[in-house]
Amino acid sequence: MNLIEIEDLTFSYTSQHEPALRNLGCTIEQGSFVGITGLAEAGKSSFCRLISGYIPHFFHGELSGTVSVAGTGTRETTIGELAARVGFVFENPFDQLTGASLTVLEEVAFALENMGLAREEIRPRAQKSLSQVGIEDLMDRHPQQLSGRQSQRLALASVLATQPEVFILDEPTSQLDPLGAEEVFEVISDLHRRGYTIILVSQDLDHLATRADRLIVIHEGEIRWDGEPRKVLLEAAEARYSERKRVATASVIAMNTPVVVLNEPTGGQDAEGIELLGNLVVHLVQQGKLVIVVSHDVRFAARHADRVIALHQGRILLDDDPRTVFGQDEALARTHVESPAVTRLGKLLGLGETLLSPEELLAVFAPE
């Protein structure tokens, strides 16, 4: 059964000349797990706002076409009414927390109180949602004392307590380390297994493609690809994006300092943006500059670094060239960071040398 239907939709924000979304048409079945990905500024967040009713009730502009959730047009209802069916989890969990609650349990109960539920119903319902996301032991802690991944779970629990039919999550792991991302994706997958409809925006295709049963790629406000994740990724891999939108890093070059420090530069970036950052690093090194990249992106480090330092609890655990560091699985595991996928694959195949790139793997089986 189609839970969400979008027909011939185009939307332009009041402050923009070009449409943020154009010619959209799709349906989303109840109980499905739909992944949404694409370049930054492609329209992914606008897609989420559309289904949740934030467009047109909060974000105003020119809208044509229709959106319906469970048979009700989003124009004919309110954000509050839609919230009973559609739960929206923001990219930054701290933007979602009220800031007025003294405990985690109070934070989850806040939305239930606004819904007018009886007091005797609120506490067990809030406790149940905390249990479902695995942080029931934190119910008496102050929300400001939570880690990033705990805060993301709290945001999920706050929405889950309202018992929506649909969960919309906009880049919920973009600010988390690999362990935190894995935990949040597992919680989301568990919600899907319980029958919830999931719409998840993410650039993390390693996690998204293996969990979603459908993948939509949005490009310049339009649905470019839509289908089974493996098929979509194959189609997308064969295509080349026509424009590069990552120009902000040009300011780094203009600074002309002898040392350049980049803190998690690949976070939330698509493949094109990561390639551009890699080219920037190469260019800066060729100019004789010292480039320090703080990152959990092991593929980026394996490709571009000539030295890798792995930290554990504030101390240097490993310090050597990438091939040496990524070849020490047991020590690296203490940092909650895995070696690159191609490195792990090479070890599974029993290859003696530590591989750092797909090209090195291909060279083993197809030497020149």
Which distant-in-sequence residues (6+ apart) come within 8 Å of 196 by Cβ? 31, 164, 165, 166, 167
Q: What is the pLDDT of residues 249-270, one digit of tens each?
A: 556 656 678 998 888 888 767 7
Kindly report the length of the chain.
368
Q: What percent of the chain has pLDDT over 70?
A: 93
On whether the CB atoms of residues 179 and 336 are closer than 8 A, the answer is yes
CATH topology of domain 250-365: Rossmann fold (3.40.50)
Distance of alpha carbon 45 from alpha carbon 169, whole angstroms? 9
Here the tokens at position 24 are: 């959209």
Q: What is the pLDDT of residues 223-250, one digit of tens each?
A: 999 999 989 988 876 665 444 435 555 5
- One CATH from 3.10.350.10, 3.40.109.40, 3.40.190.10, 3.40.50.300 for 2-238: 3.40.50.300
Here the tokens at position 161 are: 């307590």
Q: Which helix (H) or strand (E) is 62 found in, with range?
A: strand 61-69
Distance of alpha carbon 53 from alpha carbon 85, whole angstroms? 11
Whole-structure pTM over 0.75, yes or no? no
Q: Summarize the confidence of residues 160-181 as an average pLDDT.
A: 84
Report the chain's mean pLDDT, rounded to a whole number.
87
Domain ranges across the chain: 2-238, 250-365
Say whether 239 sits in a helix, a strand or coil.
coil
Torsion of CA 92, 96, 102, 103, to 10 degrees: -80
Q: Give pLDDT, residue 68.
A: 94
- The greatest distance separating any two alpha carbons of the chain, rounded to the nearest whole angstrom, comes to 73
Q: Summarize the confidence of residues 106-115 as an average pLDDT.
A: 87
Here the tokens at position 123 are: 């506490």
For 245: left if phi > 0, alpha if psi spans -120 to 50, otherwise beta; the answer is: alpha
